[in-house]
Amino acid sequence: MENVTEETSNPFGMRVDGRAVYGYGDANADFHVVGESPYAHGGADTGVPFTDSLAGERIQSVLHEVGLLAESYADDPDAENLYLSYAHPKVTDGPPTDAGFADMERFLDAELRAINAHILLPVGDRALDYCLREHTSLARKLPSDAAALHARQVRGRGFLVVPVRDPEEWEAGDRERLLGTLRAILDSDYRQTKGVATTVG
């Protein structure tokens, strides 16, 4: 595939009012991890999603183990076939509001269209709610509960969605389940997952 851009930080030149943690990684990625916000998952100081936080340490470790990150943890990770972004990229002093998430959706929509990844990994309930509503036909059938759907494969409209429980809340077995799912996807012809029935749906 031809490179969209060689930039790894905010490769599409997104601009929101105030400080923000923009998307980061391989703009041609097949795997797109969507977190909630800098407040929830880190990066306010580094400018990179899933850094400077326990959630970042845990998710980066899994992504490294399956070969999508070069290091087990870094503030400027070397991502291959992987893109990281937030549903609410603005830096806030507290949890973003419902109105704030709604206002930011257009930026995530634009990133998803630009990258056109095959696999979406929404981290936490907020990101999962967005992915179920906007990119599957299952929003009324499945709960926006990342813990309940953790590491399952959900067939979406043009995507395979793999919900991820908030890493700060992982319990025994959660890390291993996610590793197992990602390894199974990577071992398959995952680029043919669009429109193919999977475990859920």
14-32: pLDDT as tens digits: 999 899 999 999 999 999 9
**Residue 168 falls inside a structural domain:** yes
Average pLDDT, integer, range 126-146: 93
**Residue 56 falls inside a structural domain:** yes
Give yes or no for a contact between 21 and 33, defined as CB atoms under 8 angstroms apart. Answer: no
Question: Which one-letter DSSP state was computed for residue 144?
Answer: S
**Residue 2 falls inside a structural domain:** no
- pTM score over 0.85: yes
How do residues 83-102 score in pLDDT, each as one tens digit?
999 999 999 999 999 999 99
**Residue 68 falls inside a structural domain:** yes
**Residue 139 falls inside a structural domain:** yes
The domain in which residue 76 lies consists of: 24-192
Count of domains observed in the chain: 1
Residue 197 pLDDT: 37
